[in-house]
Amino acid sequence: MTALIRTAIRVEGVVQGVGFRPFVYTLATGLGLSGLVGNDPGGVFVEVEGPAPAVREFLLRLERDAPPLARIERVTTRAMTPSGLASFAIAASESASGSAPRRTLVSADTATCADCLRELSDPADRRFGYPFINCTNCGPRFTIVRDVPYDRPRTTMATFAMCEQCAAEYRDPADRRYHAQPTCCPACGPRLALRDPAGNALPGGPIAGAAELLRQGRVLAVKGLGGYHLAVDAACEEAAAALRARKHREDKPFAVMAADLAAAGRLGHIDAAAASLLTSQARPIVLLPRRTGAKLEPWAEPGAGVAAATAPGNRHLGIMLPYTPLHHLLLAAVARPIVLTSGNVSDEPIVYRDADALARLGGIADAFLTHDRAIHVRTDDSVTRAFRGRPMLIRRSRGYVPEPVVVASGFPRQVLACGAELKNTFCLAKDRHAFVSHHIGDLENAETLRSFTEGVEHFRRLFDLDPRVVAHDLHPEYLSTKYAVELAETSPEGLSLQGVQHHHAHIASCLADNGAADNGAGGPVIGVAFDGTGYGTDGTIWGGEFLVADLAGFERGGHLAPVPMPGGSAAIRQPWRMAAAYLDADDSDGLEVMRRNQARWPAVVAMARRGVNSPLTSSAGRLFDAAASILGVRDAINYEGQAAVELEQLADPGETGAYPAGLDTGSPFRVRGGDLVQAVVDDLAVGTPREIVAARFHHGVAALIEAGCLLLRDRHGLGTAALSGGVFQNLLLLRATVSRLEARGFRVLVHSRVPCNDGGISLGQAVVAAARDRP
């Protein structure tokens, strides 16, 4: 008789709510092992008993064959005394009331799986056409979880009692819905309804009725996973224009949902990397180069496809595929792509509560396609694109959050990083996990601030965190900074406050994103942080920065030469003011931008010269603004970064000429961005087409980055350049910069897992705070 051994195994990571226990059950019984498996707040615990080779085989397959949604981070084993019992059992979940630490991870919301889609379209299946079908491998997670451990009573599915059939599946380890917490069916689960703006149910089937309204060109509010969307027929010009007018969203592009890859491919060019992003479990919005047939203005002829008002003047289109059964059914019924944009007015956060939806979207939507499963956490769609075959996240939210960014060097003490002001995220970190939050939004109003504070509390509870270190931006007026300071002041135990300079946080975020922080050193590197606005250590506004940085600190190696911002924040909203500041000329010598703004031009130039209400800035964003205004792209903006976005669209992709910029080689060195602005003026004066001028300006910025990096390489002997800051969302600039630096032999780090814009700041703050906290 073979000697039996018994081994206790602990599995940590995303292992709950992903079918891990039935997987273990099937694996163990298949190998003839006895024992047990269960969830506890620390993850999954297993005991297996049997011959040593079978136990070894079990351990091998445990990691190799884990279920699709599982993310195993650590497996630890311990020898036990064999019990002699022959059965294998699945233990019930323990409650969270015990004192064990909650180390288990909650998984992100996941797109409907192929098995569920098959059942959804099978008339013989009892869930045929049921808009809430899900299983262990797919469905809502983060957006419905109220607490851990992840179990039905702690989700917004708690109010739906399972019918007998669902309960039987839920209890059967051989079933795909074994312990699928949100499982349900038409007999026992949530129900769909189509309502008018007064809340009255509309007659007929909700899906068919909603599809008919869309086809008629009406605006439909649709309750999704993380909030309400507003939808219109993407091909209907009038509907898209009406949606813009009612939403007070003048120009910012809308995203489009297409039924499948083939339909998406008729709107945008999809390469292998983009296809894998579109069809990934996270199902983000993917920015794709638009097909010219997809009604692109002003570069293409109108045609079938997408209304011009969907993404005015943009060469790219944000496209996503259905990620809930409701979306699949709706898209099939409408049989054409639909605009699907955040359900909100102007810049408010996306609406996610039903009563709030009727109140706030009642004046926008003609009807509401809604249901009675509550959304616990407001979560926007994520936005990404492929860059050189790698994902490049622009907004990291639904489908990705709350999975942690793993930072191998870890966090000696728990950290809360409060993030920036615009595109805010916060980050809670402990051990090796940085939990970067969902997209909170611009922390400029009470509603967003409430999302922020509630979000922090929710994450603290979910991941059992009690941060001892609080990191924040240096800007004293950011609401996130004020929150951090107040938290420290009111904490009885005393918290360590860590102010982190904005652009240092950008570069640290890029290092952590690339795993360069994993040895704890993370640098030093040449950090190029180009963005709109960040508070500098000298009290001026930075944004065109060359840093020599590691995680713990930085030196300002160089920057764009500062210029006044006449009118302060007014200069951000009105790019022509930056043109006036850069040109520093009050005579109207035939420049269009002067003529267009002649009434206020002399006063603004005088204001800039005298330094009245004209803070100095080295911002790269403002340099782009000046060029955009002079090129007639726009004198005033409707959303952050708009002038730069449209300048990129204007540029001729085939032109590679670059304007030169002078460099004053002090320390820190200064690059004269004004040389580029003057070159734009001169080139226009000799009749060079605007498209060519815009391209030469972009390549000029790339060239000045190259020059700055070469100078710092000479001075500091550094061979790695990290690119961060929202300006690098500009694909033309990013491509040109990376190519130039690589041609010079630099190792270039760009963002992938967290955004290069301010959405990535909180991760950077967290790793900087940890580096300073390390003994």
**Based on CB atoms, which residue is closest to Zn ion, 27 or 116?**
116
**Based on CB atoms, which residue is closest to Zn ion, 163 or 193?**
163
Per CB under 5 A, which region of 180-188, 318-326, 345-353, 678-686 contacts Zn ion? 180-188
Q: Are 364 and 219 in contact (CB under 8 A)?
A: yes
Residues 625, 21: Cα–Cα separation, whole Å: 56
**Based on CB atoms, which residue is closest to Zn ion, 130 or 530?**
130
If one asks whether residue 245 binds Zn ion (CB under 5 A), the answer comes out as no
Distance in Å, CB of 180 to Zn ion, minimum: 8
**Based on CB atoms, which residue is closest to Zn ion, 144 or 718?**
144
Candidate residues 75, 158, 163, 485; the one interacting with Zn ion per rule CB under 5 A:
163
- H or E, element range at 43: strand 43-51
- H or E, element range at 214: helix 206-215
Pick from 410, 343, 334, 420: which is nearest to 375 by CA? 343
Strands 663-664 and 616-617 come out as unpaired
C-alpha pair distances (Å), 500 with each of 100, 131, 491, 534, 680? 34, 46, 20, 11, 36
If one asks whether residue 168 binds Zn ion (CB under 5 A), the answer comes out as no
Residues 740, 732: Cα–Cα separation, whole Å: 12
Q: Rounded to an integer, what is the distance from CA 250 to the centroid of its chain?
A: 23
If one asks whether residue 69 binds Zn ion (CB under 5 A), the answer comes out as no
Q: Are 305 and 291 in contact (CB under 8 A)?
A: yes
Burial track 468-499 (b if 16+ CB lie within 10 A, e otherwise): bbbbbbbbeebbbbbbbbebbeeeeeebebbb
Candidate residues 11, 70, 138, 294; the one interacting with Zn ion per rule CB under 5 A:
138
If one asks whether residue 261 binds Zn ion (CB under 5 A), the answer comes out as no
Residues 433, 73: Cα–Cα separation, whole Å: 10
**Based on CB atoms, which residue is closest to Zn ion, 135 or 571?**
135
Q: Are 393 and 382 in contact (CB under 8 A)?
A: yes
Binding-residue total with Zn ion (CB under 5 A): 10
If one asks whether residue 37 binds Zn ion (CB under 5 A), the answer comes out as no
Residues 528-567: x/- map of binding to Zn ion (CB under 5 A)? ----------------------------------------
Pick from 522, 525, 498, 526: which is nearest to 512 by CA? 522
Residues 6+ apart with CB under 8 A from 316: 253, 268, 287, 288, 289, 290, 385
Distance in Å, CB of 36 to Zn ion, minimum: 27
**Based on CB atoms, which residue is closest to Zn ion, 144 or 571?**
144
**What is the DSSP code (8-state) at residue 423?**
T
Per CB under 5 A, which region of 132-140, 244-252, 297-305, 418-426 contacts Zn ion? 132-140
Distance in Å, CB of 40 to Zn ion, minimum: 25
If one asks whether residue 207 binds Zn ion (CB under 5 A), the answer comes out as no
Residue position matching structure tokens 């611009």: 442
**Based on CB atoms, which residue is closest to Zn ion, 116 or 232?**
116
Question: How many residues does this entry show for the chain?
Answer: 775
**Based on CB atoms, which residue is closest to Zn ion, 168 or 606?**
168
Distance in Å, CB of 138 to Zn ion, minimum: 3
Residues 425, 418: Cα–Cα separation, whole Å: 7
Candidate residues 5, 188, 202, 333; the one interacting with Zn ion per rule CB under 5 A:
188
Distance in Å, CB of 160 to Zn ion, minimum: 8
Give just the sign of the alpha carbon dihedral 588, 593, 598, 600.
Answer: negative
If one asks whether residue 612 binds Zn ion (CB under 5 A), the answer comes out as no
If one asks whether residue 116 binds Zn ion (CB under 5 A), the answer comes out as yes
**Based on CB atoms, which residue is closest to Zn ion, 130 or 368?**
130
Candidate residues 11, 15, 111, 185; the one interacting with Zn ion per rule CB under 5 A:
185
**Based on CB atoms, which residue is closest to Zn ion, 225 or 526?**
225
If one asks whether residue 187 binds Zn ion (CB under 5 A), the answer comes out as yes
Residues 181, 395: Cα–Cα separation, whole Å: 28
Position 107, amino acid: S
Per CB under 5 A, which region of 114-122, 567-575, 618-626, 730-738 contacts Zn ion? 114-122
Distance in Å, CB of 19 to Zn ion, minimum: 10
Residues 223, 375: Cα–Cα separation, whole Å: 9
If one asks whether residue 111 binds Zn ion (CB under 5 A), the answer comes out as no
- H or E, element range at 52: helix 52-64
**Based on CB atoms, which residue is closest to Zn ion, 135 or 738?**
135
Pick from 623, 592, 571: which is nearest to 730 by CA? 623
Residues 553, 576: Cα–Cα separation, whole Å: 36
Candidate residues 9, 36, 105, 113; the one interacting with Zn ion per rule CB under 5 A:
113
Distance in Å, CB of 360 to Zn ion, minimum: 32
Residues 396, 373: Cα–Cα separation, whole Å: 24
Per CB under 5 A, which region of 5-13, 183-191, 321-329, 730-738 contacts Zn ion? 183-191
**Based on CB atoms, which residue is closest to Zn ion, 136 or 618?**
136
Distance in Å, CB of 133 to Zn ion, minimum: 7
**Based on CB atoms, which residue is closest to Zn ion, 26 or 540?**
26
Residue 435: strand pairing partners: 428
If one asks whether residue 117 binds Zn ion (CB under 5 A), the answer comes out as no
Distance in Å, CB of 137 to Zn ion, minimum: 5
Q: Name the site residues for Zn ion (rule: CB under 5 A).
A: 113, 116, 135, 137-138, 163, 166, 185, 187-188
